[in-house]
Structure 1
């Protein structure tokens, strides 16, 4: 759990999550969706998807997870929908956007299809049964409401309260930090979120930096020299410009206290 109980910092992990095709500007890319599902759930587990456009559905269905779309109402109430039905054989759910086997991208270390000792079944009934107390993973994009700070706080409260009922012991809530369209990413203090989660019985487990930048071996290329910037300015014909490239997403991972994470 927390290195300092109840407070940041927590372990920081870097994930490489290359983007391709139509998800260049998506907050949760196809590859990131697959990695989240693979790392924080197992075949047969239940996943509640609060992301924009419910982008975890393909990864869940291919990986044998039960996928439940969720959303906020205009009054900031959280609604969890019925389980997404299995797709018929031969259905094309996105072509080459994701692998049919998560091991194609991440190896065997993130999957363990074997039985879980001393663990109750976590599969929701196929007819869309209640996921409360059975959910292994809840994923939402942050902020929950980019336009209204008061609504954002209300939605966070509703989400945290719901997670205390939805998550099984050791289940995880992942907040994927996005940048609103047209905005420039700036440093942000997530202490209020961590404190609110702690007040709801969720411990701050991990901080993940999902990097989509180009790499040279194990080195990330993140700094441009003055000469490179001048060359770019001459090439574009711009006298003055602001160059900002969002090359990563921050993921805040919280887990329900009272149970150990299965790793």
Structure 2
């Protein structure tokens, strides 16, 4: 039997740019970072295990030891860097992790150009933002796209997980923007 009025998928609304596919949003139930640090231990572990493989290189621009501990535990390699340093090494990294803002002196597009140059094809930049300012993620994404990175995923970090079948008020503390250097670069700015 053929349905004469087939149902169509809903048209996405909201933060959609014509020509760009919608970006998936994922909720990670992880604790909030301690005051003055970029992430919790659980966030560091999730980033490393989800975005890298054994022996991959990670550039750690985060404040605090959490990412370094996760890198060691997962048998990855890491370079710890100050965001203002001129070079981040010659070997391309699979993952660069940073808090935001990086510093007050580096323009965002310039920072992401350095990230792009330091990433392996298919590598990712994870930008951790404190939740609350609705314009900040947009500004970060625009700067990253101008530098040739594509917006791959948005991770919302909340203190408690959502429960199936129940309306849960998420206590969101961090937005994580995953940006990528597309493995199929053709000179455009999207992956």
Query: Taking structure 1 as reference, are residues 131 and 79 closer, same or farther at Cα in structure 2, changes over 3 Å only?
Result: closer
Contact 2:110-2:147 within 8 A present in 1 as well: no
- 1:141-220 to structure 2, matched below 5 A, reads 141-145=99-103, 148=104, 151=105, 154-178=106-130, 185-213=132-160, 219=166
In structure 2, list runs of 5 or more residues that go unmatched: 1-14, 186-191
The aligned length equals 170
Q: Deviations over 1:93-147 (max 9, x none)?
A: xxxxxxxxxxxxxxxxxxxxxxxxxxxxxxxxxxxxx443x310000001223xx
Query: Taking structure 1 as reference, are residues 6 and 194 closer, same or farther at Cα in structure 2, changes over 3 Å only?
Result: farther
* Partner residue in 2 for 1:253: 178
Q: How big is the alpha-carbon RMSD for the aligned residues of Structure 1 and Structure 2?
A: 2.9
In structure 1, list runs of 5 or more residues that go unmatched: 81-129, 180-184, 224-245
Contact 1:72-1:79 within 8 A present in 2 as well: no
Quote the Cα distance in structure 2 between the aligned partners of 1:69 and 1:217: 39
Quote the Cα distance in structure 1 between the aligned partners of 2:90 and 2:167: 40
Structure 1 position 29 matched with structure 2 position 49: no
Quote the Cα distance in structure 1 between the aligned partners of 2:149 and 2:119: 10
Shift of 1:27: 3.3
Q: Deviations over 1:197-240 (max 9, x none)?
A: 122211111111011136556746428xxxxxxxxxxxxxxxxx
Contact 1:78-1:158 within 8 A present in 2 as well: no
Report the TM-score when normalising by structure 2.
0.74
Report the TM-score when normalising by structure 1.
0.56
Q: Which consecutive aligned stretches of 4+ in structure 1 deviate over 6 angstroms post-superposition?
A: none
